[in-house]
Structure 1
Amino acid sequence: MAGNCCNVETGCSKDTPGGPRFRRALWAALIINAIMFVVEFAASLQSGSVSLLADAIDFLGDAANYIISLTVLSMGMLWRARAAWLKGLTMFIFGIAVLARAGWVVASDITPEPLTMGVIGGLALVANVTVAVMLYAFRSGDADMRSVWLCSRNDAIGNVAVMVAAAGVFGTGQAWPDLVVAGIMGTLALTSGASVMRHARSDLRSVAPEPAVNG
């Protein structure tokens, strides 16, 4: 089929969107993110941490995004660009939700438990660095490939921030470090989501059919 990177004549390069190396990396990333969502969500409920909850929801969103990527992997550029735009929108909405949640918790006067935050944040960092390393080679591909790299990069940054927040909560005995980090994570999701959507729109324009000329 036209636009498909794999066909009988040419085969498929290991580093192309439909290549076996990229597909294996996506499956591994999907499994890691699904497991870490369960672990981190349970820990966020136990610790009362907003930043940990935000990171858990991000794991869930990434798992869903990897499913989308795997679904459109062998399709043409048009469908991959549409999927990337949808993932960018998901990241953007996630950012809004995190910022809204952090704003609501400001008035609750709940101090999270820092030890759980630090331990689970460290475990999540190991998971996300592993995924980021696997996807690093594909960071300069089309919008869909770039979006999965951005997800893993943002998650690793978020995990470091959660650990910093845990140290801040431990040192101050107050919730504001957790809320500040949640706000940063929400803002990062907003900017990254906007970046992916811009890249996807550029890809969509590049594959859009030219208008017919009358006459």
Structure 2
Amino acid sequence: MSGCCDDSCSLDRLRERQRGTLQIVLGINAAMFLVIVAAAFYGNSSALLSDSLDNLGDALTYGLSLHAVSRERVVKAKVALFKGGLIFLAACTVAVQIAFKLIAPTVPLFEVMGSFSFLGLAANSLCLFLLWRHRRDDVNMSSVWECSRNDIASNLSVFVAAGAVWFTGSGWPDIVVASCLVLLLMRSALGVMAAAKAEMRAAS
């Protein structure tokens, strides 16, 4: 008699679905990081750089999550804790660039900001759609969902900032939006790390 109807087989099928989804979103975010980081430096935009680092953090996050799919609870919690640290590091990187911008103000290219933030929004919306059904699977997939949801807010914010830069002819909207994104990233990082620590305590 086949054992494919028991809990173990159901769990195996869930893990395979998780792996397939993570592989797709990993590829999307790795490609978007390369495209948007080049655009951020070309357009001299801190907000767009924050967006690109978000994609890099997500690519690393998805890679780690892929590794953790079939692991026990405590390993998933440790991976989630590490992912929280990566998000926090990305926030600190953008904060440093903002500090340089305050010392030597520049006006970014709003056309580049708007075009590539919209491209990022399309890519991240696809990732969010793919991850929707996994958002409550476990702490590993929940942290992945948290990262992807942040991406949508990030893309929309950069798009709005591009319009504000065009309207004002000033670089301040870029700095303001980048600062807000830093706060969002830090809040997300602390939330992911807190959930991971709680999971580790529960697992032990």
Partner amino acid, structure 1, of 2:37:
F
8 Å CA contact 2:85–2:193 kept in 1: the answer is: yes
Choose from 139, 144, 160 the match for 2:140.
144
Structure 2 distance, partners of 1:160, 1:14, is 37
Within 5 A, what are the aligned runs for 1:48-67? 48-67=44-63
1:118-169 deviation per Cα after TM superposition (whole angstroms, max 9, x unaligned): 0100000000011011111222232211110011100111000000000000
Tell me if 1:33 matches 2:29.
yes
Residue 11 in structure 1 maps to residue 22 in structure 2: no
Partners of 1:9 and 1:118 lie apart in 2 by: 48
Other structure's SS at 2:9 match:
coil
**How far apart are 1:12 and its partner, in Å?**
3.5
Aligned to 1:77: 73
SS of the equivalent of 1:106 reads helix
TM-score, normalisation: structure 2: 0.93
- Alpha-carbon RMSD across the aligned residues, in angstroms, is 1.7
CA deviations on 1:81-125 (whole Å, 9 max, x unpaired) are: 000000011112222222222122112121000011101000000
Contact 1:51-1:179 within 8 A present in 2 as well: yes
Task: State the partner residue of 1:46.
Answer: 42
Matched, 1:179 2:183: no
Correspondent of 1:123 among 97, 119, 126: 119
Matched, 1:191 2:193: no
* Alpha-carbon distance in 1 for matches of 2:118, 2:21: 22
Q: SS in structure 1 opposite 2:119?
A: helix
Q: Report whether the alignment pairs 1:135 with 2:131.
A: yes
**Counterpart in 2 of 1:93?**
89
Greater than 3 Å deviation, 4+ residue runs: 12-16
Alpha-carbon distance, 1:14 to partner: 7.2
CA distance in structure 2 between the aligned counterparts of 1:100 and 1:145, rounded to whole angstroms: 30
Aligned-pair CA distance for 1:15: 7.5
Give the TM-score normalised by the residue count of structure 1.
0.88
CA distance in 2, matches of 1:29, 1:166: 26
Q: Which has the larger radius of gyration?
A: 1
The answer for unaligned runs of 5 or more in structure 2 is 1-5
Task: Say if 1:15 and 1:180 are closer, same or farther in 2 by CA, change over 3 A.
Answer: farther
